[in-house]
């Protein structure tokens, strides 16, 4: 086992050994209102509770970007991932340097 910059590297994989969230970690993003649905999805899903200017990135489990868009208006966005294979995806929502992650399952 080798320690590198507060990360543990073992067998080529990194592990987080601790996580501490501060009170200012997600200030101003209103994450409590963001909702990804339906989940699981058949390919088309919605994100509600968005703020205008939020950048949405969807990645597969290998970290490859399969979709990226900036929300031009607030509240709701519909995303079509019919071109993607069934599996687990991560939906990343970023606004003003704050990030939230949501797991999405495609059937």
Residue among 25, 26, 1, 29 at smallest CA distance from 13: 1
> What mean pLDDT do residues 72-89 have?
91
Sign of the Cα torsion 38, 43, 60, 58 reads negative
Look at residue 49 and tell me whether its pLDDT is greater than 60.
Answer: yes
Pairwise CA distance, residues 16 & 101, whole Å: 16
The mean pLDDT of 33-60, rounded to a whole number, is 92
Q: Kind and range of the H or E element at 2?
A: strand 2-4
pTM listed for this prediction: 0.70
Q: What was the pLDDT predicted at 12?
A: 59
If one compares 84 and 50, the residue with the highest pLDDT of the two is 84
In this prediction, residue 15 carries a pLDDT of 56
The residue ranking higher by pLDDT, 78 or 27, is 78
Summarize pLDDT for 6-17 with one digit per residue, the tens. Answer: 444 555 565 555
- CATH node for 33-107: 2.60.40.3080
């Amino acid at each position: 086992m080798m320690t590198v910059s507060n990360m543990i590297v073992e067998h080529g994989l990194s592990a987080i050994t601790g996580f501490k969230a501060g009170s200012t970690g997600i200030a101003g993003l209103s994450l409590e209102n963001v909702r990804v649905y339906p989940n699981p999805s058949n390919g088309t899903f919605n994100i509600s509770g968005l703020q205008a200017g939020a950048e949405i990135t969807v990645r597969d489990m290998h970290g490859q970007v399969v979709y990226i868009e900036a929300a031009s208006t607030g509240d709701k966005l519909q995303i079509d991932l019919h071109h993607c294979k069934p599996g687990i995806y991560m939906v990343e929502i970023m606004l003003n340097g704050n990030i939230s992650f949501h797991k999405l399952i495609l059937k």
